[in-house]
Structure 1
Amino acid sequence: MPLAQYFNINPNSDEKFVGLPVGTEQNSVEHFGYKHGLKATQIFKSTTSKDGRIWCLMSVGLACYDGVIIDTFGLNGELKNHVLHTIGVDYKNRLWLGSNLGIEVLDISEKSPRSLCFDEVGRIECLTINGDRALFGGTNGLFEKIGDSPTRLFDDPLLKNEAIKSVIQLSNGVIWAISASKGLIDIPQNSPARQSITLPKTVGQPLNLYLTQNHNILVSGKTGFTLLNAQGFPLFTACTGDVVTALCQISSAIWVGCNGRLLKYELSNSEGTAPELMVSDLYVRCINHDKDDNIWLSTDNAALCRISRLRHVYKTNIVPGVKDGYCITETPKGPLVGGTFGLRLPDGNFTLDGIKTWDCLVDNFGKIWSATQSGLYCVVNPQFNIPYKHESSEIYASPCRCLALNNNTLYVGSILGLARNTASGAEEILQPNGERLGYIYSLYNHPDGSLFIATLGNGLWQLTGDILHQIHGGSLSKKENVYSITSNNEDTLFIAHDNFISAKPINQDAKIIVETDEIVAAWSLNLLGSSQLIAGTSNGLVLYEAATGKFIRKLVGASSQTPWEFSTSRSVLVLDDSNILCGTTNGVNSIDTRSLPPPSFQPTAKCKNVKWYSATPELKDDVYYVPTGDWHLVVSVSTHWYADESECLMRIKLNGYEDDWSVFRQISDIYYTSLPKGFYTLDVQIYSPLAGLGPEKTLVSFHVV
C-alpha cells in the first residue's frame, strides 16, 4: 500500500489532515502566559489590529503582543477602567474597549494607547463596528455611536430595560442582538425591533452572535450552535450537548469552544457528522484568526493560546505508539517504523520490544530484517514467529546501523564493517588492502545498480558487483565522516559529510554547495522533485536549492517548543512531490510542502518606539534633528510575525556610522549614545529559520547637528 494512501494524505486536497481517529489531538498549541508577560491566566477576548498586533483582555487590564514581547496596560492609568469585557478595532485602527463603566476609544499608533474618548454608560459586554457606526450593549441597553456624534441609547420598546448580551450589524444595516430575557432580536433599518428569527431547537437558549467573513451569522447556545444566512435561514446546525462558549468560521470549518474542548466541524460534512477534537482541557472563551491564518484562543485556564498557520504544513505523531523514529520503510502492507522502542509493524503491532532499531526492510521473500543496537534480526512471519538474531558473523552480532537490498542481496552495515548475506552465509566486504571498512553509517542504492557506502572516518566507497573503490577528490577526503547520500536523475551525487553537503557530478570531483555551523550538516539527505534538496539535521528539516545549495527554509515543527531532531539517514521519506515523512525524536511527522507559506511571507522589522534621553530632538519629515551632546537613543523593535518568532534573530546597521551589518542576535532594543555630527539611518533585518531573511527596513532617521 502506498504510504500516502496509508496515512490518508490526498495530494489533490487543499488541506491535508492525517487520517487519525476522531478524538485524536493533532495540533500543537503554543501558550502565552506569565513567562511571556501576561499578568493573568484568564483571557476574556482577543482581536488583531490593522497593523497586525494581537490585543487581549485580561482580568487586570489590556495586553498587546507584537511578535517580540507582550506589553500590558491599565494598572498604571493608561485606561479609564481596567475591568474589561469586550474589544474591537475600527477601520481607522482605533481600539474600542467595553468595561464596567462604559465604552472607551483608544489611539494605538504609539507604543502606549492614548484615550480619545470615554462614554460612561454603564457595563458594556458586547461591541460591533461597521465603518463609522459602532453599536455596543450591556446592562443598560443598546447604544449607538456614529463618527464623532454623541452616543445615543436605542429607545425601542422591545429593548427597553433589556440587558444586551451580544450584538452584530450586517452589511445592509440590519442589527441582530441577544437580550437576557427576550433572546434573539433583529432590528431592520429604520424599523422597530422584532423577534422574527426562529432558531433550531438543538441550539438551546442563544448566548452569542458571530459575524463570519462571508456575512453569515453564527449563533451559539446552551446545547449547540447554528450557522444562518442573512435572512435567518439555517445553513448548518450541530448539537454539542454542552454550552458553546466560542465560535469562529475559518475557511470551510467552524471552530467551537465547548466544555473544555476545542472542536472543528467541517461544513462539507453532513449535519450530525462527529466533529474533530482539536484540543482538550482548554476552556475557550474567544476564537479569532489573524491575516496569516493563525488561530488565537482566549481561555479561562491557559491564558492566550495559538494554533499556528503551520497546522496546514505539519502533522505530528501520525504513527500511534511511536515516540521517536529512526527509520521509516515503505512496504506493500504499510510502513515499518523503527526506534528506541523496537519495530512497529504495518498492522500496528510491535516487535523487538525495547531493542533500538536503526534500520529495517522487507526482502523479496517477505522476511523483515532489522539492524539494531543488539545486532541483526530477522522475522519470517511476525504473527507467528519471534525475531531471530543472526550471530553467524561478527558483523551481524555487533551493533548494526543500516541495511540495503542491492541486486537481490542483503547488505548489512555495522560499527565494525560491511557484510552481505549469501547462500553460504555472511560474506564480509573488505577494502582492497584487506582491512575492514569500519563504521558503516548508511547505504545508498544508486540507480545504476551500484551500492554507495558511507563510513565514519573512512570516507565514501562505491561497490559495483565485486569491485570496491573509494570516492575522493575535490571536497571529499579519504578520511571523511560521511552520513548520507542521494542522487538526482542527472547523475549528480549529493553527499552529507562532516559539516558540508557536496555535489558530485558523474566523472567529476565533489564540490561543496552547503557549509553549516553545525558539526553535522545533515544526518539524512533526500530530493523533493528534482529541484530541492532535503536535509534532516539535529535541529529540523532544511530545504536547499539542489543546483546551488542556496538556503530556502528551515522547518522545525509546528511549535518551537518541540524541535525536530533527525538522527539517521533513513529518517526522511519522500512520499510524492509535496509530502514528506519525518522520523524524529518527537515521533513520526509529516510535512506538506505545498502548504508552506509563499516566499513573500517574510518577517519584517517594525519600529515600535523611539525614545531619547537627555535630549529633545525636533521631528521634521520623519527625521529627528538632535544636537550634539551627552544623549542616549533607544529604538524598540517589533515584527508582528507569528510563525517562528521565538527563533527569529535580527541584525542592524547604522548607516553613516557603521559600514557592515552586525552579527545576528536576539531581537531586542537598540542603543546609541552621543554620536558625532552627521546624518544617520538605522536599518534592521530579521532572520526567520522558516522564511529566511526578511527585507531590509529603515526604522529611524536622525541628523546630529
Structure 2
Amino acid sequence: MDYYRLTPSVFNGKRILDTFYSKTKYWLIAAFSILVIVSTNCTSTYAQKYNFTHYDIEDGLIQSQVNTLSEDSENRLWIGTLGGVCRFDGSGYFTFSKASGLPNNFVYSVFNDAAGNLWVGTHSGLSRYKNGKVYNYPVPPEFKSAWVTQIVQDGKGAIWLLMDRRLFRIHGKKMIHVNITGKDESVNALTVTRQGVLHAAVYKAGVYTLQDKKWAAYLPATGVYNDIQITRMLFDRKDSRTLYLLTPKGVLVAKAGLLRQMVPSPGLGGEKKNLLFNAYCLSLEQDADNNIWVGTDKGAYYFKNGTYTHFTAENGLSDNPVTYIYKDKSDNLWLATSGSGIFKYEGDAYVTYNDINAINNPVIMGIARGKNNGIVLGTDIGLLKYSANEFKPVVKPGLERVQNLFRDSKGNVWVGSRGAWRYDGETAELIKGTERHTVLNFAEDSNGVIWMATSMGCLYYKNNVIKALENNHIFISSLLHLGNDSVLVGMQEGVTLIVNKQFVKDFKLPAVSNSSIFSMIKSRNAIIIGTDDKGLFVWDRKKNIVKNYTDRNGLKSNAVYSLAVDDNDVIWAGTGRGVNRLAINYQTMDCKVLSNQYANDLVYESNQNAILYHNNKVYIGTAKGLSVYNTKTVAAKETAPYILIKQVNLFKNGKGEKGVLTPATTGLKLNADQNHLSISFLGVYLRDPSKVSYQYRLTGLEEKFSQPVKTNAVDYPALPPGKYTFEVRAVSPEGVLSANTARFSFEIVPPFYRTTWFTILAVALVILLIIGLQNLWHHNKKQRERTIEAIKHEEKLKIRQQTAEDFHDDLGNKLTRITVLSEMLDVQIAKDKPEQQKLVEQIRQNAISLYNGTKDILWALDPKSDNLYETLKYIEELGIEQFRDIGINFKCEGVDDEFKHVKLTMEYNRNITMIFKELMNNVLKHADARLVTLKASRRNKSEMVISLSDDGKGFDCKQASKGHGLKNIKTRAARINGELMVYSIINGGTNISLHFSINTNTLS
C-alpha cells in the first residue's frame, strides 16, 4: 500500500501519514466489500475483455508505479515513475534516474515544452533535461518541501510549476515564487487553455486566471464547494467555456460561473442510491471523441453518450490505482497505474469473452440468432443464450458437444450435435432419425427443406420426415444453398453439386479438388469457399472465373474455418490465426485483404462455421471464447509516424567502431577504409509500433526510395568515395508517410591517389613526362643533328683549310712562276719590239692581279675568318691598302675584342667583305674624298651596324638607286637578311650603313 503515500495527488490536503492510514483503512474495507459481492454473484459469472495494450517492467519499464506521462516533439512517450524517468518509442526504453543526475528517483510530473526541454518534477525539486544534460534548479531556502507535482507552459512560453502547493515561475536558472491570493495560499492544480491562458486552483479561494500579468478570479469558491480540494483541471476541447474540476471525491463541471456534479459522488452532495463511484479520484482526461475518463484507486471510469464503463482487472485493465490519464498527439489514450505499469486503450471496436463459464471455459462451436434476436451460442456443454452481456445456459439433457448452429426462415435454431436438434427459444427437440449421425452443418433451400451435412453423407428434412440421399456415404463438412433445389456440397476433397436431391456426377471444380472444404457463403454473384490448406477461393459461376487467395496475399492463415458478409459487402474470414476482412471486386473477382483497423487483435483459432453477422456486429467463435467486432466503428484519424535515425555503426577493416557516428554529426568526413556503414532507424508510431514500415534511399548512390519494408536497419558494405545523404521515412499501417524525413549526411574521402588534386597532379606529371620525353627525344635529335652538323662543319673546315692550303700552294706557286717567267721573257725581248713587251707586261700584271684576287678567296676559305672580329679586321686591312699613298686618310672605329665571340658563317663574312670592298672602290673612284671612316657598333644584343662614311662630294640618292652597283650591294645585304641604309648629300659626304641581325641564323 505504499503507493498511496507516494502518489502526488494524496499530498493535496491532510498530512501524509493521516492520508496513508485513512486510505489504508478505506482500501481494506473496499477490498472486503468487493470480495463479498463477488462471492454472492458467482452463479452468473462472465468476463468481457476490453482491448488494452499493457506495458510493464518485463517489457522494459523502469518501474511499475507510474505517476505521470508526457509526449515530446518526436512522438515519444516520457514516463515518470517512483524509480526515475523512462522514454518509450514503441520498441524500447531509454531511462535516467538519480544515477544520471536527477535529485531524486521519485518523479511526480514530467512535461515537454515547445523548445524541446524535458521538465522533471521530483520529490527533491525541479530538473531540466536536454541533449543528455540535466540541470537541477536550486530550491529557495525558505521552502522546506520540494516535491513538484505539476508543470505547465503558457502561451508566451513561460514555465509554471507547483512545488509544495506553491506556485513558481521559471526565470533563467531560478524558480520565482508567485502569490495569487496571499502568502499562505495553497495552490493545488494548474491548467492552460488552448489559447495559452494559465489558470490556477487555490484552496478555499477558487480558480484564478492570469490576464495581462494580473490574477483575476475565474470561479470563486462559494457555498457547499468552498472546502473542495481541486487536484486536476481540464477545459473541454469541444466547448472551451466548460471546465472540469477533479476532486478526490468526484468530478465537478463549471460553466458560465456555475458548478454542478458530473455524476453523483460521495461528499459532493449525491445521495447514496445515486452514487456512481465510491472511490478516490486521482486523474482526469478527455479523449479524442470528447469522452471523459476518470482514474481512481479502483481502476478507471469511462463516460460516453450518457453511459459509463468501469475498467478493472476483470475486463482488461487493472485493479491498481490509475494515477494519470494522458491523450497523446496521435489520439492514443494512456493510463498510468501505481503498480501495473501503463496501459494503452485500443478502443471498443471489439471485445472478447474468454471466461464465459468460470468452471469449464467452453469453446464456442456455433453461433446463431434466436427468435427474439438474442444470440445463441453452441459449446461443449450445450447452448448458451447471450443478451445484454449476460450468458444463460439452456439446460437440456443430451444436448452437449454442439458442432454447429443454424437459424431457419421461421426463426428456429437448428443444433448440430449427436443428432440434429430444433430449438424454438423455449424448448429443444431431437429430430428422429438423426440420433446416429453427427451433424456438422445445415442449409435451407427455397422450399423450406432443411439440409444436413454429416460424417456419413447428406440428409434432408421435409414434412417432418428425415431422408438420406442415395449413394452418398461420404464425409460432408459444409453446405450452401445456390437456388431452387440446388445445394453446393463441401467435402474432404473438393465440392460437388446436388440438384433435385441427386448428386450431379459430371460436376467438377478442379481448383479445389484436393482441398477439404471448411466453409462456404454467397455474396452477390460470388461464391467464397474456405479450405483447410489453400486459403480462399472466389468463384463466379456465370463467368466460370475462379481465383485463389492465400497468406501470400495477406491472409493470417491458409486454414479458413468460417465466413460471413456484412452490410458493406466486406467478407469476414475466421482463420487459424485470427480474423481477416476482405473486399471483392465483383466484376473481376479480385480480392483485397483490408488493413486491420482493430488494434491489438488477438491471435485466436476460429472454429468451423462459428460466425454470425447481426446488427452491425460480427460474432466469431474461437478456441478461447467469443470475439465480437463492431462494424460501425469509426476508424481513428490517420496520423503520421515520426521517423528518427537511432544509430550509425561504422566498420573499418571488418570491425565495428563503437560510438563513432551519431545522426546529429554534420559535415562528417570518413576515410576511404571507413566505407562500411550500418544505419538503424525507428518510426515512432505508438498506435501500432509493430506495423510501421520504412522507405529509404542513399542519395549519391540511389535516386528513388525503396519499396516499404519492415526492417528498420540497412547495411552499406562497400561504398565508393563520394558525398552521400541517407534519407528514411516511415509509413503507417494505413499508408500515411511520416511528417518528417530523417537525414544523415556524410562524405567518404577518396584515397589520396583518387583525389582531384592527385589526378590533376598525375595528369600534369604525365603531360610533363611526355613533354620531357619529347624534349629529351627532340634534344637528343638536335644533339645528334648538332653533332652531325659539327662533324660536317669540322669536315668543311678541314676541307676549307685543306682547300685554302692547296689553293695557296698550287695556284700561288703557279702564279709566281708565271710572273717570274714573264719577267724573264720581258728581259729577253728586244727593246725594239714594244708590242711584244707590252703583251708580256699585261701577262705579268694579270698574274699579279689574279694573285691578289685569290687572297680574298683564301681568306674566306680559312676557318679562322669565321667571326665578326676577323671580318672587320680584314675589311680594315682592305681599306688601309686601298687608300694608302693616294692622299686619302682611312680610319677604323669600334672594332672590339668582344666581336671575336660573334661567329659568322662563310656566307656572312664573304658577303660583308664584298659589300665593303665594293663601297671602298666606289669611294676611291667617285667620291673625291679626303677622309674615309669605317665604324662598327652594336645596337643591342641581336643587331649589328657596320658603316662606311666619307667627306666626298656626295650624290643624289634617287639617281644613285638606279645604278647597278648599289643594287648589287643591296642584293648581297638581302642574302644575309640585312638592310643597307644610304645617306648622302651633294657636296656633303656620304654614309652607308649595313644593319644585320646576330642570331642563331648568323652564328656558325
- Is 1:488 paired with 2:529? no
One-letter code aligned to 1:359: N
* 3-state secondary structure, aligned to 1:445: strand
- Is 1:559 paired with 2:600? yes
- The verdict on how the C-alpha distance between 1:693 and 1:417 changes in structure 2, with shifts beyond 3 A counting, is farther
8 Å Cα contact 1:217/1:230 also seen in 2: no
- The verdict on how the C-alpha distance between 1:507 and 1:65 changes in structure 2, with shifts beyond 3 A counting, is same
8 Å Cα contact 1:630/1:673 also seen in 2: no
Residue 384 of structure 1, CA deviation: 5.6
- Is 1:451 paired with 2:462? no
Per-residue CA deviation, residues 304-348 of structure 1 (Å, 9 max, x unaligned), is 11111xx14213339965854322212331222213332224673
Task: Return the match for 2:610 from 563, 571, 575.
Answer: 571
Task: Return the match for 2:178 from 141, 146, 154.
Answer: 154
Task: Return the match for 2:672 from 610, 628, 631.
Answer: 628
One-letter code aligned to 1:298: A
The equivalent of 1:462 in structure 2 is 497
TM-score, reference length from structure 1: 0.80
Counterparts in 2 of 1:663-674, with a 5 A limit? none
Residue 460 of structure 1, CA deviation: 1.2
Task: Return the match for 1:85 from 108, 129, 145.
Answer: 108
CA distance in 1, matches of 2:351, 2:436: 37
Per-residue CA deviation, residues 437-465 of structure 1 (Å, 9 max, x unaligned), is x3322222235653221112x21122232
The equivalent of 1:536 in structure 2 is 574
The equivalent of 1:222 in structure 2 is 248
Residue 542 of structure 1, CA deviation: 1.3
| Equivalent pairs, count | 653
Counterparts in 2 of 1:402-417, with a 5 A limit? 402-406=441-445, 407-417=447-457
Per-residue CA deviation, residues 630-650 of structure 1 (Å, 9 max, x unaligned), is 576453433322344356677
One-letter code aligned to 1:44: N
The equivalent of 2:370 in structure 1 is 331
- Is 1:525 paired with 2:563? yes
CA distance in 1, matches of 2:380, 2:741: 47
CA distance in 1, matches of 2:506, 2:736: 36
The equivalent of 1:4 in structure 2 is none
8 Å Cα contact 1:475/1:511 also seen in 2: no
Residue 49 of structure 1, CA deviation: 2.1
- The verdict on how the C-alpha distance between 1:668 and 1:617 changes in structure 2, with shifts beyond 3 A counting, is closer
More displaced stretch, 506-515 vs 47-56? 506-515
Residue 627 of structure 1, CA deviation: 2.5
CA distance in 1, matches of 2:634, 2:499: 40
* 3-state secondary structure, aligned to 1:349: strand
- The verdict on how the C-alpha distance between 1:124 and 1:161 changes in structure 2, with shifts beyond 3 A counting, is farther
* 3-state secondary structure, aligned to 1:355: coil
* 3-state secondary structure, aligned to 1:85: strand
8 Å Cα contact 2:370/2:412 also seen in 1: no
- Is 1:244 paired with 2:281? yes
CA distance in 2, matches of 1:603, 1:565: 31
CA distance in 2, matches of 1:200, 1:450: 78
The equivalent of 1:73 in structure 2 is 96
One-letter code aligned to 2:114: Y
Task: Return the match for 2:511 from 476, 480, 483.
Answer: 476
The equivalent of 1:315 in structure 2 is 351
Per-residue CA deviation, residues 658-703 of structure 1 (Å, 9 max, x unaligned), is 99979966x6655555645466666768788x64797897765554
8 Å Cα contact 1:42/1:59 also seen in 2: yes
Per-residue CA deviation, residues 269-288 of structure 1 (Å, 9 max, x unaligned), is 3xxxx743122513111111
Identity of aligned residues (%): 16
Counterparts in 2 of 1:121-520, with a 5 A limit? 121=140, 122-131=146-155, 132-139=157-164, 141-145=166-170, 151-156=175-180, 158-162=181-185, 164-170=187-193, 175-178=198-201, 182=204, 184-189=206-211, 190-191=213-214, 197-198=220-221, 201=224, 205-212=228-235, 213=237, 214-215=239-240, 216-229=242-255, 231=257, 233-234=259-260, 236-239=262-265, 240-250=277-287, 251-266=289-304, 269=306, 275-280=308-313, 281-308=319-346, 311-317=347-353, 321=357, 323-333=362-372, 334-345=374-385, 348-351=392-395, 355-363=400-408, 368-372=413-417, 375-379=418-422, 383=426, 388=430, 390=432, 392=433, 397-406=436-445, 407-422=447-462, 425-430=465-470, 434=471, 436=473, 438-447=474-483, 450-456=486-492, 458-469=493-504, 476-489=511-524, 491-497=525-531, 498-516=533-551, 520=558
CA distance in 1, matches of 2:705, 2:214: 67
Per-residue CA deviation, residues 15-37 of structure 1 (Å, 9 max, x unaligned), is xxxxxx99985523322111211
CA distance in 1, matches of 2:107, 2:75: 21
Task: Return the match for 1:645 from 684, 689, 698.
Answer: 689
More displaced stretch, 524-533 vs 39-48? 524-533
CA distance in 1, matches of 2:512, 2:263: 67
* 3-state secondary structure, aligned to 2:549: strand
Residue 176 of structure 1, CA deviation: 3.7
The equivalent of 2:128 in structure 1 is 105
* 3-state secondary structure, aligned to 2:514: coil
RMSD of aligned C-alpha atoms?
4.1
- The verdict on how the C-alpha distance between 1:662 and 1:676 changes in structure 2, with shifts beyond 3 A counting, is farther
One-letter code aligned to 1:523: Y
One-letter code aligned to 2:208: D
- The verdict on how the C-alpha distance between 1:226 and 1:483 changes in structure 2, with shifts beyond 3 A counting, is same
- The verdict on how the C-alpha distance between 1:466 and 1:331 changes in structure 2, with shifts beyond 3 A counting, is same
Unpaired runs of 5+ residues, structure 1, are: 1-20
One-letter code aligned to 1:376: G
Residue 379 of structure 1, CA deviation: 4.5
Per-residue CA deviation, residues 211-254 of structure 1 (Å, 9 max, x unaligned), is 23344432222322212237464473541443211111223422
CA distance in 2, matches of 1:473, 1:693: 45
CA distance in 2, matches of 1:574, 1:143: 58
Residue 475 of structure 1, CA deviation: 6.0
CA distance in 2, matches of 1:324, 1:692: 37
8 Å Cα contact 1:366/1:380 also seen in 2: no
- The verdict on how the C-alpha distance between 1:178 and 1:51 changes in structure 2, with shifts beyond 3 A counting, is same
One-letter code aligned to 1:442: S
Residue 368 of structure 1, CA deviation: 4.0
- The verdict on how the C-alpha distance between 1:444 and 1:177 changes in structure 2, with shifts beyond 3 A counting, is same
Higher RCO, Cα 8 Å, sep 6+: 1
One-letter code aligned to 2:415: S
CA distance in 2, matches of 1:687, 1:171: 30
8 Å Cα contact 1:127/1:168 also seen in 2: no
CA distance in 2, matches of 1:471, 1:564: 39
CA distance in 1, matches of 2:410, 2:217: 76
* 3-state secondary structure, aligned to 2:58: helix
